[in-house]
Amino acid sequence: MAVHPIDYRYGSEEMLRIWDEENKLQRLLDVEAALARAHAKVGNIPEESARVISERANTKYVTVERVKEIEAEIGHDIMAVVRALSDVCGEHGKYVHLGATSNDIIDTANALLIRDSLDIIEKDLKDLRSILKELAKKHKYTVCIGRTHGQHAVPTTYGMKFALWLDEIQRHIERLHQLKERVLVGKMRGAVGTGASFGDRALEIERLVMEDLGLKPARITNQIVQRDVYAELVFFLALVASTLDKIALEIRNLQRTEILEVSEPFGKKQVGSSTMPHKRNPVRSEKVSGLARVLYSNVIPALLNNPLWHERDLTNSSVERVILPESFVLLDEMLKTTKKILRDLEFFPENIRRNLYMTKNLIMAEPLMLKLAERGMSRQEAHELIRQLAMKAFREGRDLLEVARESEVIMRCLSEEDLESLRPENYIGKAGEIVDSVIKYVEEMEKRGL
């Protein structure tokens, strides 16, 4: 019976497969097998025993059902895995879990799950980067109104919007590479992190296990890998979610009926409302924004998991069973949804132009003020003059430039040609060059594999 929506509604099959019960069990078994092989390499156990344990450390032999059955009896999840594996290994089972504590297995297995999950996140981020790069190129000079405080400000371009998001996604990709160095670590050091249970060759055994699994050993641990690492991971996932939320929020606003400059894709048979047949609701973007709130909320428990009693307690364990799969699966859903939205984003050029000219050139107040300053008028004096004229134009519903032409002060300073040049399309500064600089940087990072 499915209860949580990630069981049946959210996340790709590849991400869900990583965090399903059977794969999580397999990763625990992978660590137990690597430990047995390490013991054999240093001569602690027979090579034949390591071979048998490695062969039987598979969910074909150690089933989820059997582990649950043992756990119900003894009340310990990892010991249930150890017993189930030992049982199928016969006489060689006595070497299973030799020297290890539960979190040697759990934390190292978690690193494997996290590595696989981050690989998917990285691929989606790079896909999203490619989509945004093409949009930035295509719309480098698609001039539109910029808005601050929800009000019309001065012109910008859609290329600037997309390049802004592109640059942010690139930062996430770079953060991800940095994060991997810290989060993809395991441990094999026993109950309080000293390695005493593994004897004189403890650090060698740990090194062999981690090399076998493609991980690095944590520099120092107590019973667990320290949870500042997990907190950083969950914060990173939430930070990516905040960028997707930002993109979705902008699209939702730009899709408002009164604005309608862009729209997320709407299928031919898609239903917008159960009662209003005409509706084209931005449901994908709203889903992205909604799921982001869950990822934000997971940051707090991740932070609370870092301070534990002495060498550790168990208060982090139940939390991580929830927030790790939930954060990865929901971000996976958000990334794939955002890719679809942007890949098929619909533009309404006539509305973009209409909104650009909606305020009857009030948005040209800044360049008009600056022209007066260029001609010798005090910047502050010019600001106050244009402010008064802009308020007059607003009250009377007239074009700002028309009102400006009635000002003797302005016409003494400026020519008709000066006023005619004040068009929104002419006031985008170095937008094109700025977009190009972002694209150039991103392409350089792509060549470096970042």
Show which residues are catalytic. 149, 273
Tokens linked to 357: 């000219």
HEC string of 150-171? CEEEEEEEHHHHHHHHHHHHHH
Residue 98 CB contacts under 8 Å (≥ 6 apart), including other chains = 35, 36, 39, 44, 45
User: What DSSP line would sit under 363-391, residue for residue?
Assistant: GGHHHHHHHHHHTT--HHHHHHHHHHHHH
Q: What are phi and psi of 190, to 5 degrees?
A: 80, -165
User: What DSSP line would sit under 64-99, residue for residue?
Assistant: HHHHHHHHHHHS-HHHHHHHHHHHHTGGGGGGTTTT
Q: What are phi and psi of 311, to 5 degrees?
A: -80, -10
SS3 145: strand
Tokens linked to 52: 């048998």
* C-alpha to C-alpha distance for 297 and 147, rounded to whole angstroms: 29
Q: What amino acid occupies position 110?
A: N
HEC string of 239-308? HHHHHHHHHHHHHHHHCCCCCCCEECCCCCCCCCCCCCCCCCCCHHHHHHHHHHHHHHHHHHHHHHCCCC
* C-alpha to C-alpha distance for 235 and 224, rounded to whole angstroms: 20
* C-alpha to C-alpha distance for 304 and 230, rounded to whole angstroms: 11
